[in-house]
Amino acid sequence: MTGLYRNSGLEIYEKSHYSHGEHITEVEQILTWYMPGTKRILDIGCSGGLHALEFAKKGFSITGVDIEQSAIELAKKRNASNKQKTDFMILDIEKDELPYSGKFDLVYSIGNVLSHIRKDNLINVIRKIRGCLNDDGIFLFDVLINSRPFQEVIIPDKDENQIIWKRKIDEKTGIIIMDGIFPDFGFEQHFEVWGYTIKEIRGFLKTAGFRDVEFSEKLDFKTRIKTKNPISLYFKSKG
């Protein structure tokens, strides 16, 4: 996960995805089913800290981790201005241990962060996450979906800061070769990521000790799957 998620690329990423306060809406959707309070939350792949700081404003104690140094520096800078109860640290979730200074009530990883992890290592990462959750804690995440027909060109329905995604998938392995084109910024980014079937994700969660798996196209989990070939899905499960 390089280029788009650091330095000037991070600025382009945020302008393309969150320039209209989408992170605020996403946190509000999560809070339709996750009740506010003094709960401890872990944000895996926190990027510049937009979601984490929004949770902190609502009274949560939150830790944000990301592999990119410039992303963590930006998150800390924003936190210094807001003085929220939030901690940010550089961490590689594939190689490093997750912070265990007390366990978490909610761990979330959104923005298809887990699709960037090697498929043969995803179960190990999910086990780590299970290990840092309290009993009955909730794990929330999204991944790119391997389904037929697979959308090879994606053009979002908005007028500005448009992103055009061009993708090819190997259905047997789940490897997705993907290019993001940002015409408003003259920027392109190449990715090799992973797509999963719903059955695969259910299997990983069950093997790692999770239960009560739900999935949805929306973070409020009120909208069930209507799309025959969803690009990405949200999953939540109890520890």
Pairing state of beta strands 211-216 and 175-182? unpaired
Spatial separation of the C-alpha atoms in residues 165 and 190, rounded to whole Å: 10
Percent of the chain with pLDDT over 90: 68
Neighbours of 106 (CB within 10 A): 21
Q: What is the DSSP letter of 90?
A: E
| 112 vs 2: which has the higher pLDDT | 112
CATH of the domain at 48: 3.40.50.150
103 found inside a domain = yes
What is the per-residue pLDDT for 14? 87
Residue 161 lies in a domain: no
Q: Which of 149, 157, 194 lies closest to 175 in space, CA to CA?
A: 194
Q: Stretch 147-174: mean pLDDT, rounded?
A: 86
Kindly state whether residue 205 falls inside one of the protein's structural domains: yes
Please report how many Cα atoms fall inside a 13 Å half-sphere around the Cα of residue 173, on the Cβ side. Answer: 12
| Per-residue confidence (pLDDT) for residue 2, from 0 to 100 | 45
Domain that holds residue 103: 7-144+197-238
| Radius of gyration for the chain, computed over Cα atoms and rounded to the nearest angstrom | 17
Question: 75-95: per-residue pLDDT in tens?
Answer: 999 998 777 778 999 999 999
Q: 151 lies in a domain?
A: no
- Does the structure show a pLDDT above 60 at 159? no
Of 5-9, 106-110, 173-177, least confident by mean pLDDT is: 5-9
Q: Is the pLDDT of residue 1 over 50?
A: no
* Whole-number pLDDT of residue 225: 67
Would residue 218 count as lying in a domain? yes
- The pTM of this model reads 0.93
Contact (Cβ atoms closer than 8 angstroms) between residue 146 and residue 154 = no
Cβ–Cβ contacts within 10 Å for residue 6, how many? Answer: 20
Dump pLDDT digits (tens) for 30-53: 999 997 666 899 999 999 999 999
- Rounded-to-10 torsion of CA 54, 57, 61, 62: 20
pLDDT digits (tens, 9 = 90+) for 128-147: 999 999 988 999 999 999 99
Q: Name the one residue in this structure whose structure tokens are 């409020």.
A: 220
235 close to 157: Cβ distance less than 8 angstroms: no
In a domain, 159, yes or no: no
174 domain residue, yes or no: no
Tell me, yes or no, whether 122 lies in a domain. Answer: yes
- What is the tally of structural domains in the chain? 1
* 131 dihedral zone (left: phi>0; alpha: psi -120 to 50; beta): alpha
Predicted confidence at residue 38, as pLDDT, reads 62
